[in-house]
Amino acid sequence: MKYNRLLCAGIAVYLLCISSCPTPYTNAQNTSYASPAPTKGRAYYEERGDIVWEVPTHRKLIALTFDDGPDESNTPAILDLLQKYDAKATFFVVGSRVEKLPHLVKREREEGHEVGNHTFLHSSFQYISRNKALSELDQGQTSIVQATGAGTHLFRPPGGSYNDSLVKLSKEKGLKIILWSWHQDTLDWRKPGVHRIADKVLRNARNGDIVLMHDYVHQSTQTVEALKIILPELKKRGYSFVTVSELLSNREKPDGLIEVNK
Hey, which residues are catalytic here?
A: 67, 214
CA distances to 19, 24, 85, 139, 141 from 130, rounded to whole Å, are: 41, 32, 42, 14, 16
* b (16+ CB within 10 A) / e for 98-135: beebbebbbbbbeeebbbbbbbbebbebeebeeeebeb
Q: Is 148 in contact with 115 (CB distance < 8 Å)?
A: yes
Angle at 150 between CA 144 and CA 154, to 5 degrees: 65
Compute the distance between CA of residue 146 and CA of residue 137 in angstroms, rounded to an integer. Answer: 14
Angle between helices 164-172 and 130-148 (to 10 degrees): 40
Compute the distance between CA of residue 245 and CA of residue 242 in angstroms, rounded to an integer. Answer: 8
Q: Is 89 in contact with 223 (CB distance < 8 Å)?
A: no
Compute the distance between CA of residue 47 and CA of residue 29 in angstroms, rounded to an integer. Answer: 31
Compute the distance between CA of residue 112 and CA of residue 213 in angstroms, rounded to an integer. Answer: 19
| Residue 100 DSSP label | H
Q: Is 88 in contact with 247 (CB distance < 8 Å)?
A: no
Q: Is 63 in contact with 242 (CB distance < 8 Å)?
A: yes
